[in-house]
Amino acid sequence: MNQAIQKTGYQPGYYGKKRQAAAEWADHYIKKFNHEEAEKKQVDKKPVILPSVCFSRQIGVGALEIADFLSGMIGYRVIDREILEHMAKDAKQALKMIESYDERYVGRAAELFSMLISEKTFIKSDYGRQLVKTVTALACSEPTIFVGRGTHLILPRDTILSVWFICSLEYRVNRLACMLNIDKSEAERQLKVFDVEQRDFFKAVYQKKETTPDEFDLVINMDHVNGAFKAASIVACAFNQKFGKK
């Protein structure tokens, strides 16, 4: 990534809240998952993909902040793009999660992964297949809000509430400039770099040139919603309507 961007310390999804490092998060949840599964192996059941929330967004719109508010409303954990990227690229940690999952559903987990990958014919890379397995294992292990990395394209549509957050370039520029205390021209320059990287990711992993509204249950324009809390409230209402109160 551009060195000038690195100096600002900004990463997509950042909004000032101190977050646990991806490696620490993954290690904690794998240990937690292993402990729980050791106590309740259920080899006679088919794996169930729990209802999840999948956020897709334009970089800088504030989706992670919205996810944190939503987490407090519906009691779901938040998994951001950094964690997904770490899990998909760290083969050892991802394998630990998947193997633990396999122990609970002997043979069935592999069937589920194979089914999802075969259904998603656009998933052609090894990284993409690893991402499918990681996201599916996470979605089956605990109720989750996923932010970024196109998880709405991985999980079955009837198991997710998919939300796309959009806004004007002006909204994103103002938010980033204020957050990082940089001028607007620099904020706009950084956003253009991130937009290119995001498009390249979706093209490489999902063979998609652009995002379209028909992929989502809900599209929220943050230019017309007064803040992250109110946006989260809208999503919580839609989630309750689709899946019932938790």
Q: What is the pLDDT of residue 3?
A: 47
pTM: 0.79
pLDDT digits (tens, 9 = 90+) for 87-101: 777 766 666 666 666
What pLDDT is recorded for position 4?
45
Q: Strand 77-79's sheet: what is its strand order?
A: 77-79, 144-147, 52-57, 160-166, 218-221
Higher pLDDT, 152 or 27: 152
Distance CA 26, CA 220 (A): 30
135-144, 193-202, 236-245: least confidently modelled range: 135-144
Rounded Cα distance between 74 and 58, Å, is 24
**pLDDT at residue 41 greater than cutoff 90:** no
Domain ranges of the chain: 45-243
Contact 238, 218 (CB under 8 A): yes
CATH number of 45-243: 3.40.50.300
**Which residue from 139, 140, 162 is spatially nearest to 216, judged by alpha carbons?**
162
pLDDT, residue 121, reads 72
**pLDDT, tens digit (0-9, with 9 covering 90-100), for 225-234:** 999 999 999 9
pLDDT, averaged across the chain: 82
Q: Which residue has the higher pLDDT, 15 or 195?
A: 195
| Cβ-Cβ contacts under 8 Å for 178 (sequence gap 6 or more) | none
pLDDT at 104 over 70: no
Compute how many other C-beta atoms are within 10 angstroms of the C-beta atom of residue 222: 24
pLDDT of 129 reads 82
| Tokens linked to 4 | 């000038």
